[in-house]
Structure 1
Amino acid sequence: MLTTRAFKNGNSQAVRIPAAIAYPDMDTELEIERIGDELRLRPVRRDLGDVLSIFASFSEDFMQEGRGSQEQSPRKAL
């Protein structure tokens, strides 16, 4: 088990995540949840519930002309 220490960063408490278990992408948005004396970190889950409202915001003529030519390049046989 790896250990680390909490420290003060401005008005917040911060924790360094050891490189051995760090997320590969430094821009990963994380959720944090307290359960008893545990703190759980996980990547933010994108909720698809909003997708319908996003689609509803498109104009009625969106993609009216289609996607254009979608021809695929010939591939080499395996």
Structure 2
Amino acid sequence: MGVIGKLFKNGRSQAVRIPAEFRFEGTEVEFRPGPNPGEVILSSKVEAAGTLDAFFKSRTKIPDWELEGFLEHREQGQHERDDPLA
């Protein structure tokens, strides 16, 4: 089993006390659904898009399991080109 963090209320919000070895830099984090029902992935907030450098930095933050088979299973049927002289 992994390391356990504590849940607590802060006013009307719910918060998570993160163990020291998993602390983030900055002031914001990003939540997204995990691969299994009920799982949540918490990660550093991705830099604002707009530069290729930001794009490539964000690519390294995506776990490999999210990219597996991303484009491998899409169907690409045969496309017939129209005859431009017809």
Q: TM-score, normalised by structure 1?
A: 0.49
Q: TM-score, normalised by structure 2?
A: 0.45
